[in-house]
Chains A and B, each alone.
Chain A
Amino acid sequence: MKKKIKELVEFLNKNKPVRSINIMEVCGTHTMAISRYGLRQLIPENINLISGPGCPVCVTPTSDIDWIIEIARQYDVSVFTFGDMFRVPGTESSLYNERSRGRDIKICYSPADVLNFAKNNPDKKVIFIAIGFETTVPLTSVIVKRAYKENIDNFFIYNTHKLVPEALELLLVDREVKINAFLCPGHVSVIIGSKPYNFIAEDYHIPCVISGFEPMDILESIATIIRQINKGIAEVEIQYRRVVREEGNPTAVKLMYEVFDKSDSLWRGLGNISGSGLKLKNKFLKFDAKTFFPVKRIKSREPAGCECGDVLKGIKKPAECRLFSKICKPENPVGPCMVSSEGSCAAYYKYEKLKV
């Protein structure tokens, strides 16, 4: 293992590109691994690893948090969330603060548990915050289908699901964003395969490598990117062959679109992206928390000074945000990127706050 890493590091140093290049790691799990293992210390300085929008919690707009809080305040409901979402600040509160004030907000580990809770507590109205990219959508789909089949009428989802490839296209047309290659998320491609990224290589001439999450996977993927760049080619390659196939998992994709249709979606920091979201099909609309629990219009605002948008687009590194580690800290997060276990600000704060 160590020998292989040494070889990869030597390869990168020997073949480093002549000019400085930006590789965007789309996925928050990659961001965390890069920081946690100190991979920047191993690669040549002119290979710049920049973080992308691939942390579902980070790209959830403040208005969604506000909306969920409003539902919890106005209705007698049990809200289940994954832990990451718990402390993300809304405009003036968070789920965490709401729980301290007596609202019934619980952390869950799997949507199936939430559905079971709803079944076992028929007198309670139960809302699951469905979040994540293509990786988690099939899980939500299974649960919604089950709730439909078993006619469970006290279970709802607050849907914030989003799709990755559509967001990447937005970055490519943004002139401020300078990306020479993408390190694509392995888990997403387990579901969607590699083909949805083909347009990036073909239309934009940007190499894409679908990578695993071990340090060696990431270094190997960077080496693959450098090989392509040095040859002047752009292709979609799969490094994470252990689990990713070109065609992905067609059964899971089919399941997604049995329950959801594509829709537009608002991304925090990136704005509205056409076709980047999912909405429940009409057949399943009775499970939609937004429809079932109407709330008064909420005036959401993004926190002043927070530069999450530029961080999510890779224009700024977390430490270049004026609030980073001064006002915005894990114990007092201003934006979600400082909260999520996949957030780039959290990764930099935790692992790269000080250069050793």
Chain B
Amino acid sequence: MTINKNKKFKDKIIQLSHGDGGIKTGELINNLLLKYFGNEILNKLEDSAVLNCSGKRIAYTTDSFVVNPIFFPGGDIGKLSICGTINDLVTTGCTPVAMSLSFILEEGFPVPDFEKILLSIKNTTLDTNLKIVTGDTKVVEKGSADKIFINTSGIGFFGNNIDISPRKIEVGDKILINGGIAEHGTAILSSRKEFNFKTSIVSDCAPLSSMVNDMLSASKKIHALRDATRGGLASILFELARASEININIHDDKIPVKKEVRGICEFLGLDPLYIANEGKMVVFVDRKDADKVLKAMKKNKYGKDSQIIGEVTEKGEGLVILVTELGTRRILDLQYSEQLPRIC
């Protein structure tokens, strides 16, 4: 995101759009939060901060989870909190090692539901080397929070010679994704009680540390990774293109979208390119290594439907161009929408 500290934050009250990962979130971060806290690390606005601690590099991130409903097809708020934190960390190429967990619980929240969430958290961490090493619990009066909110932070360590960052992206890089998009957003939406029809869509919520590990073993030329969460695939491509001053071509017919997901998006007038994922990594890799990385991704259980979806075409102002199945072209922009609040 472009940082312009001279811009004033003009809005008078906080609205849901300030939390949707789109234009208004950008304004909140750039024009209000960075005004108070801006520094050379935070200003990068990456999924994780990379710190230098006595000569050792450490990745550090934080996240909060307010998803509604707390149990949804393919996961729950507990699994989501672990996956979200892990995926933010692994975008730097690090190995997640430690996490904090804080719960904000609403008075009256059923203990069996809480235990179900705790068990789910435990099961999700089994897949990884991650330990929960610290935490906190607060309980608020009924009505002051909705059932359960979770806050996390995470720390990861780096192997030798791993340097992955948007600034490493080069012209010619291929862009890959590890499977169908928009599954988390549409799964949450269709499991909301106000949404009265059944679908078989399941959230893609998954910890991607093992897949990223496999990818890093397959190639030393992975330049950048990005977790395509809020705002969907289009928004993160837009942000990366802007930040790295490159132009990108994406091929519509190569982007995996499950038929049912596409159907529900069409029905509701939503664009799958802008719908949240919780287990999708966008990968920028040197074109010579693209097939190697694709193969490694496909071997992992979270990357079976991986695809090469586009390429970096040139240095530029940050245009993301979608080439449609008809061969026509259009620009993908950062979009404004708050249609799906409390998605994560």
Contacts and interface: CB of A to CB of B under 8 A. Distances in A.
Chain B contact residues, majority secondary structure: loop
B329 interface: yes
A353 B331 contact: yes
Interface residues of B, number: 26
Interface stretch (A37-45, A166-174, A264-272, A306-314): A37-45
Given A37-B326, A113-B194, A356-B321, A84 B333 contact: no
B133 to A, nearest CB: 39
Contacts of A276: none
Contacts of A37: 324, 326, 328
A109 B194 contact: yes
Contacts of B14: 100
A241 B250 CA distance: 34
Contacts of B330: 35-36, 38, 351-352, 356
B337 to A, nearest CB: 8
B12 to A, nearest CB: 10
Contacts of A5: 326
Given A330-B335, A331-B23, A354-B331, A42 B326 contact: yes
B335 A38 contact: no
B328 A41 contact: yes
A268 to B, nearest CB: 20
Contacts of A35: 330
Contacts of A215: 326
Contact of A350 (B268, B329, B333): B333
B329 A38 contact: yes
Interface string B265-294: 000110000000000000000000000000
Contact of A100 (B13, B22, B326, B336): B13
Interface in A303-356: 329-331, 341-342, 350-354, 356
Interface in B291-344: 321, 324-326, 328-331, 333, 335-337, 339
Contact of B328 (A39, A107, A330, A331): A39
A331 B15 contact: no
A350 B238 CA distance: 14
Interface string B16-52: 1100001110000000000000000000000000000
A51 B186 CA distance: 30
Contacts of A109: 194-196, 268
Given A37-B326, A109-B196, A356-B321, A330 B331 contact: no
A108 B195 CA distance: 8
A331 B17 contact: yes
A73 B41 CA distance: 46
Interface string A90-117: 0000001100110000111110110000
A83 interface: yes
A107 B268 CA distance: 12
Contacts of B326: 2, 5, 37-39, 42, 215
Given A37-B328, A331-B336, A351-B330, A112 B196 contact: yes
Contacts of B268: 83, 109
Contacts of B194: 106-109, 113
A86 to B, nearest CB: 9
Nearest to B329: A356
A341 B269 contact: yes
Contacts of A41: 328-329
B196 A42 contact: no
B24 A331 contact: yes
A101 to B, nearest CB: 7
Contacts of B325: 2
Interface string A68-95: 0000000000000001100000000000
Contacts of A36: 324, 330
- Name which of B24, B195, B324, B326 has the most chain A CB atoms within 10 A of its CB: B326
Given A36-B330, A112-B196, A356-B330, A350 B335 contact: yes
B328 A353 contact: no
Interface string A21-34: 00000000000000
A293 B174 CA distance: 60
8 contacts: A2-B326, A100-B16, A107-B339, A109-B268, A331-B336, A354-B331, A356-B321, A356-B330
Given A2-B325, A100-B14, A331-B17, 9 more contacts: A36-B324, A37-B328, A100-B13, A100-B16, A109-B196, A110-B196, A113-B194, A351-B331, A354-B331
Interface of B: 13-17, 22-24, 194-196, 268-269, 321, 324-326, 328-331, 333, 335-337, 339
8 closest A-B pairs by beta carbon, nearest first, are A38-B328, A341-B269, A330-B336, A331-B336, A356-B329, A41-B328, A100-B15, A331-B23
